[in-house]
Amino acid sequence: MNVNKIVTALALLGSLLAAVTPAQANPEQDRQNMIKTFKDKFPDLKTEDYVYGALALNKDALGQYKSIMEFPPYTTELDKAEKLWNTPMKSGKTYADCLPNGGKMIAGNYPQFDNAKGKVVTLEMVVNDCRTANGEEAWKYGDDKTMGLLTAHLRTLSDGMKVNIKVEGEAALKAYEDGKKTWYTRKGQLNFSCANCHVLGAGERVRSEILSPMIGQATHWPVFRGGSNLVTLQTRYKGCHGSVRHVGDEPGSERYNNLEYFHTYISNGLPMQASVFRK
């Protein structure tokens, strides 16, 4: 075969492959693959139990968690959160006045891709748009005294809602792919990716902790660790990046927003419950 024929044959093969292989990954396929990975790993775990994270893999700890949740040690914080939620902004309007559906049953729709803005929008960004439109300054995503506290109430208004993230169109898919890349990229001196610990390593013990599976990880934020230490989802991302000695981003960065988009998509269909207890 001469060179020309080989080139033609390769080109033909290339176009055939292009026809059967999608140019980019398919988010729903990713989610199904992840479900299958964990079904093989934890055949006894029921889908709905993934919302408990590592607790689902330890019966005693799950029992303790359930009794703690009957009288959470951070009710004072939740009261403060509700008060903040009800405090009118400079314009006289409240958050309920300016958020979609009065802020109820909406958290499961975020993050979402905003085509007009050309980027991923988190629920925290919607709160900030609401604040700046009503004469207030924007807050930082990771600030536990302001944004974190407000969302500790706001997100409970979506308890029971199923995670419902949509990835539609090229630009949205690109943001999703970017988040996926962050999830699978090894970082820090330990050279670990999120997937190393929360997919391959899920169920393994690291020091005194069991590593939670990826599915369900995005359903219950913020969390209160120990007594009343409020931690937002992206603060947790930064903490996990720190645990492999990688200096993570400030919560609210585009990289973390895209990561949250991908990460939350994988929990689609699971019920949300905000402001839960974690060790």
**Residue 111 · residue 123 · CB < 8 Å:** yes
> In whole angstroms, how far apart are CA 145 and each of 29, 128, 194, 229, 230?
39, 15, 27, 10, 9
**Residues near 275 by beta carbon (within 8 Å), at least 6 away in sequence:** 72, 74, 78, 81, 152, 153, 155, 156, 220, 222, 223, 224
Q: Does 61 contact ligand HEC by CB under 6 A?
A: no
> In whole angstroms, how far apart are CA 32 and each of 89, 115, 148?
43, 26, 31
The candidate with the shortest Cα–Cα distance to 234, out of 117, 166, 140, 128, is 140
The candidate with the shortest Cα–Cα distance to 113, out of 179, 173, 172, is 172
Shortest gap between Cβ of 53 and ligand HEC (angstroms)? Answer: 3
Residue 147's Cβ-side half-sphere holds a number of Cα atoms within 13 Å equal to 26
Q: Does 194 contact ligand HEC by CB under 6 A?
A: yes
Q: Which stretch binds ligand HEC (CB under 6 A): 3-11, 19-27, 172-180, 191-199?
A: 191-199
Distance CA 53, CA 46 (A): 12
Q: Which stretch binds ligand HEC (CB under 6 A): 56-64, 97-105, 126-134, 235-243?
A: 235-243
Closer CB to ligand HEC, 131 or 238, in the complex: 238
Size of the site for ligand HEC (CB under 6 A): 21
Q: Which stretch binds ligand HEC (CB under 6 A): 40-48, 88-96, 145-153, 193-201?
A: 193-201
Residues between 80 and 119 that touch ligand HEC (CB under 6 A): none
Closer CB to ligand HEC, 128 or 267, in the complex: 267
Q: For residue 209, what are its two tokens?
A: 């902790």
Closer CB to ligand HEC, 125 or 231, in the complex: 231
Q: Does 180 contact ligand HEC by CB under 6 A?
A: no
Closer CB to ligand HEC, 93 or 246, in the complex: 246
Residues that bind ligand HEC (CB under 6 A): 53-54, 192, 194, 196-198, 206, 209, 211-212, 217, 223, 236-237, 240-241, 243-244, 263, 278
